[in-house]
Amino acid sequence: MKKVSKLAIFYFSGTGNAKQIALWFSEYAGKQGIDCRLCSISTADPITTIHSDTLIIFISPVHGFNYPKITLDFIRRFPKGNNRVVLMCTRAGMRIGNIATPGLTGIAFFVSNLLLRTKGYTIAGQIPFDMPSNWIAIHPTLSRKTVRFLFETNFSHVQKHAEQIFAGKKDFLSHRDLVQDVLVSPIALGYYIAGRFFLAKQFYASAQCNNCGLCINQCPVKAIKRVGGRPFWTFRCESCMKCMSRCPQKAIEVAHGLWLVLIILSSVFTPVFFLIIGFLYRLQHLLLANRFFGKIITFTSLTHYKIWGKGNPKSNRIEQQYA
């Protein structure tokens, strides 16, 4: 067992959880005298030279029981090599009493493990971290107390796993979840083929938007363009929640009203579903320019309400926590 002396961490993060885990590992590596390189997947070039002695870590959130497309594309384009690799993910952690409830990894590790092994790498570990769920399109924001609890829990997990993998040992915590990961794999495929395109059209900018352009400039996959003088989400969006969490005006909402219409229509017009999503999203975009319809769309967005966390000082405002 050879101790690790060089480390390269490649991370993708929408709202900061995966980045935080990457930072904790890199700080711990620094304390151990390990030479560590930290690279963001949204800006790094996968065609990069890495010494064969280097331990490589990939870390990314799970989206729809898989790594998001941006992470999978990066791993797919990663050059061949024979390094040891540890795969990590951050998932939707919640809290019941003093227990951090786990999210679900699904096929994220299976797919990337396979891709990297065909390139010659050795997989030395697969470790999930249950950080605060950021999927506030489907649930209200978590309380600050819960977020703090999950951060503290994961901080101690990082130390434990860092000791193990930096000592050159294997660490396959993910094997614990094998059964449920296999069970959700059909849903993961459904999400990758169709679900993510549905979600790509969930966001809109409300009347609070002052057109600052931050969301357009900072989107890791360049999914937002300006149409009719206001932000417009294209099918490229990966629903990473970064734009929503960073908007200085808190103007980005999830159109739950449109969700409802789409769910009803999808059962009737399945073959032309994507045409309908595209058409209805554009129609909603046009209607947003009108004050009356803009108000109706905002009132039917759960993310607009205090009960969902907006403007509630006791709730975790992701834009404050992850800034």
Which parts of this chain interact with ligand FMN (CB under 6 A)?
Answer: 13-18, 61-65, 90-92, 103-104, 106, 131, 133-135, 199, 239-241
277 binds, among ligand SF4, ligand FMN, none (CB under 5 to 8 A by kind): none
**Minimum distance from residue 142 beta carbon to ligand FMN (Å):** 10
Both tokens of residue 95? Answer: 């809290």
Contact pattern for ligand SF4 over residues 224 through 253, marking x by CB under 6 A: x------x-x---xxxxxxx---x-x-xx-
DSSP state of 249: T
Taking the least distance from each CB to ligand SF4, the nearer of 30 and 213 is 213
Q: How far is CA 79 from CA 58, 84, 88, 162, in A?
A: 14, 14, 19, 25
Residues in the chain: 323
Query: Rounded distance, CA 180 to CA 281, Å?
Result: 34
Taking the least distance from each CB to ligand FMN, the nearer of 14 and 231 is 14
> Looking at 17-25, 26-34, 85-93, 212-220, which segment touches ligand SF4 (CB under 6 A)?
212-220
Is 62:213 a contact under the CB 8 Å cutoff?
no
Half-sphere exposure of 11 (CA within 13 A, CB side): 23
Q: Which amino acid is at 260?
A: L
Q: How far apart are the first and last CA of the chain?
A: 39
**Minimum distance from residue 63 beta carbon to ligand SF4 (Å):** 10
DSSP symbols for 35-69: EEEEEETTTS-SS----TT-EEEEEEE-SSSS--H
Is 304:206 a contact under the CB 8 Å cutoff?
yes
| CB closest to ligand FMN, residue no | 103
Both tokens of residue 319? Answer: 């834009």
Contact pattern for ligand SF4 over residues 44 through 73, marking x by CB under 6 A: ------------------------------
Query: Rounded distance, CA 263 to CA 103, Å?
Result: 25
16 binds, among ligand FMN, ligand SF4, none (CB under 5 to 8 A by kind): ligand FMN
By CB under 6 A, tell whether 92 contacts ligand SF4.
Answer: no
Residues linked to residue 125 through DSSP beta bridges, in sequence order: 86, 171
Taking the least distance from each CB to ligand FMN, the nearer of 4 and 127 is 127
* Residue among 18, 16, 153 nearest 96 (CA): 153
**Minimum distance from residue 215 beta carbon to ligand SF4 (Å):** 3
Taking the least distance from each CB to ligand SF4, the nearer of 178 and 212 is 212
By CB under 6 A, tell whether 100 contacts ligand SF4.
Answer: no
258 binds, among ligand SF4, ligand FMN, none (CB under 5 to 8 A by kind): none
Taking the least distance from each CB to ligand FMN, the nearer of 64 and 81 is 64
135 binds, among ligand SF4, ligand FMN, none (CB under 5 to 8 A by kind): ligand FMN
By CB under 6 A, tell whether 207 contacts ligand SF4.
Answer: no
Count residues binding ligand SF4 (CB under 6 A): 26
* Residue among 260, 253, 262 nearest 299 (CA): 253
> Looking at 150-158, 190-198, 223-231, 273-281, which segment touches ligand SF4 (CB under 6 A)?
223-231
Query: Rounded distance, CA 191 to CA 157, Å?
Result: 29
* From 7, 10, 12, 14, residue interacting with ligand SF4 (rule: CB under 6 A): 14
Both tokens of residue 56? Answer: 């490589």
Query: Rounded distance, CA 54 to CA 69, Å?
Result: 25
Q: Is 93 helix (H, G, I), strand (E, B) or coil?
A: strand
The contact set with ligand SF4 (CB under 6 A) reads 14, 205, 209-215, 219, 221, 223-224, 231, 233, 237-243, 247, 249, 251-252
